[in-house]
Structure 1
Amino acid sequence: MNDTNDALVIEGLAGGYDRFDVIHDISFRVARGEAVAILGPNGAGKTTVLRAIMGLLKHRRGRIAIEGTDVTRMSPHRVARGLAAMVPEGRRLFEGQSVEDNLRLGGIRLRRDRDRTSRLLQDVFDLFPVLKRYRDRDATALSGGEQQMVAIGRMMMSDPALMLLDEPSLGLAPLAVADLTAALRRLREQYRSILLVEQRVDLALEVCDRIYVVYGGRIVDEGRADEMGAEGRALIDAYLG
């Protein structure tokens, strides 16, 4: 694979927990400005891939590069310094902190660059106007959909080259999922590089350029979202169970 025009390149990735591999020979890429989804059932290894990218999992084999930088053995705090940022499953907001405090903590590496931090904060408020109205409220007192907005905004505040989202629609009401989908589409239109882990096929197909399906820790199918007809969707649904 050639890293030149890629936000992310993964080659032959294998790893897991203790002595057991969860993912096996995973290889794929995300081009700069592209949104890519990883679909699969629970336990397929989707989150393990994200953890490996962030340096949170010491994989046994393979190579990972972000924007041409080899991060295969890089520590999580170095990866998080502008290379990649993740919205984890369950959001994990800072309890007892306001919306704005949560957002600013996401951009703590840029705290000395006040102009840049202010621009990033305004970008978040432009994407999620409700957060500007609620900027002084306790973030964990908001609705599930609003908390997810805070989590995405916190990720944006570090201005990463690659955005990782782990099951962002999980537990959200239909209206909140619609708002989430619209926000992700806007980020894609802004030429942001996105890797989305999801179980909702409809959301992934609407937001992403390409789809990878993971089953049993291996990539078993892939394709362009705009070329995936009823047969392709049926195949994905079969893997998802």
Structure 2
Amino acid sequence: MTTTTTKLALITGGNRGLGLATAHLLGAAGATVLIGARDERSGHDAVVELRERGILAIAVPLDVDSPASVEAAVARVDREFGRLDILVNNAGILPEATTADATTPLDLDLFRRTFQTNLFGAVAVTQAFLPLLERSRAGRIVNVSSTMGSLADQTDPASPYYDLVVPAYQASKAALNGLTIALAKNLAAGTTKVNSVCPGWVQTDLGGPDNRAAAPTTALAAAEVVVAAALLDEAGPSGSFFDAAGPVAW
């Protein structure tokens, strides 16, 4: 087992976009970052990039949709470190943005695909790693959500996202927020905190090929709110939903 006095952070989907930016910032803050990546090669490439900047990074093959992959990842982290301090549930998909025939709010296949990764993947990873997080003196779970998962925002005509209808994605993030609330209640007696964060509209590949040009926020800027939740002190909230500007309505 490797003994480390630095915070140990696992980021799902940590090999690119917001996940990789989060790894950069957490590493710069002194954490050891575990890059959870479905593709082993891209995970390795991300680690090389991080290490070139002096960040201690380790690639961990992890497909949140595969129970066997999740089981193998938690066994490895347990064997090598015996604990986990930070879990960032970042892996997510938005197939409605890239599916040409996504013309109806009742496309059951899109709902299944989206929930499989955005909700069930987060549940599977959190359930598997929770015993390791509870061994930490200050475990932190960060669920990367979206204002588009806010029911208050979806029903507010003044919202800039009011006319954006991607129901499978929006429902999956609303469900992820529900998970945050339930977990925070269940973990209230211990030292593990769990929160949802909205990084904003980020320049990543999540929303399709045109997203990088249209999105106003760089991945590094967006990652700041994720890192803030990951590094909350003892007085920080649990069971909250916030973005860079402050609390977000559920």
Q: Report the TM-score when normalising by structure 1.
A: 0.35
Q: Report the TM-score when normalising by structure 2.
A: 0.34
Hey, which of these two has a bigger chunk of strand by percent?
1
Higher normalized contact order (CA 8 Å, seq sep 6+, divided by chain length): 1
Hey, which of these two has a bigger chunk of helix by percent?
2
